Copies of this chain bind each other. A is one copy, B any other.
Amino acid sequence: MAKVCIGIDFGGTFIKYTALDENYQPLGKTHQVPTPLAEGRDAILQQIIAGAKQLIESLGLAREDIVGVGIGSPGPLSVSRGILLALPNIPGMENVPIRDIVGKALGLPATLENDANAAAYAEFLCGAGKGTDDMVMLTLGTGVGSGIIHKGEIIHGVHEMGAELGHVIVQPGGRACSCGQHGCLEEYCSATSLARNTTEILQETDRQSSLREVLAEKDQIDARDINEARRAGDELAAEMWEQCAYYLALGCVNIYRFLDPDRIVLAGGLSNAGDDLTEPIMRHWKELDWTLLQTQKSLAIATMGADAGAIGAAGVAWQTHRPA
């Protein structure tokens, strides 16, 4: 039997599971169970463990086939101590030593990782970053999450607070961010902020836009609405889409000045726009970038989809627990 690592992606809605062989190939499909949010800490932990046991059983894995288990979770958390510090969206999960609780219950060496880092690591191992040494991922969803892989390893920072690229300041004195800063990348480039910034203009000005109808109809607009309106020739939509691409391009310039990676990978809801997003980013990037030297710019859309978190968690377990 091939050796495997188990990956658990612990989220606010679902807990997802995968088993990855030593070549990072998944054994079958990713499983998932609902997160029993309302039932509190102990029920949540029991569900995490029970789902893993189900997966192990359904794959017919023996204890000696399993090298380790990786758990991906929203932060803030401590990778080195294996502890969830707080989960803004899941009450009762403060200071939970999840790594050791899950590891002990399964009788397996366990590793905890930030979910954004786990997803980035999945792209690095098996997806849009495969074959690179250094990769940076930006996840453009509710916020802007990020992961930095340097020489095959996730950068956490000395106090485990690094790789927070959504909170790099790209516009001094710019839009207020919930983190307390002004002008964070996240305030211009998340799917949510793009929609919110556009909605604000619709509500606070009398600019003409086809998005007014969408807003009236659905009571909200999203990033996809803006892209569709832009494609149909709407000026405001085009302007907001360009602004988002501009700041992402500025982020790309700064990522290359810091780290000069092989590739930047875009994930999350906004990245579903594909070329509609990468084309204007590349255009702005070329305009913004230095001419001193030739930057080998590489930008790609993530390919691992919703399973990235579980696969990356299993990948992190392989990195940590692979026998020498």
Contact = CB atoms under 8 A, between A and B. Distances in A.
Interface of A: 76, 132-134, 148, 150, 155-165, 167-172, 177-182, 246-247, 250, 253-254, 256-262, 288-293, 295-296
A225 to B, nearest CB: 26
B148 A258 contact: yes
Contacts of A170: 169, 172
Nearest to A177: B290
Contacts of A258: 148, 162-163, 165, 168, 258-259
**How many copies make up the complex?**
2
A175 to B, nearest CB: 13
A180 B134 CA distance: 25
A177 to B, nearest CB: 8
A180 B289 contact: yes
A257 B164 contact: yes
A181 B150 CA distance: 26
Q: Which of A164, A247, A295 has the most CB of B within 10 A?
A: A164
Nearest to A75: B293
A180 B291 contact: yes
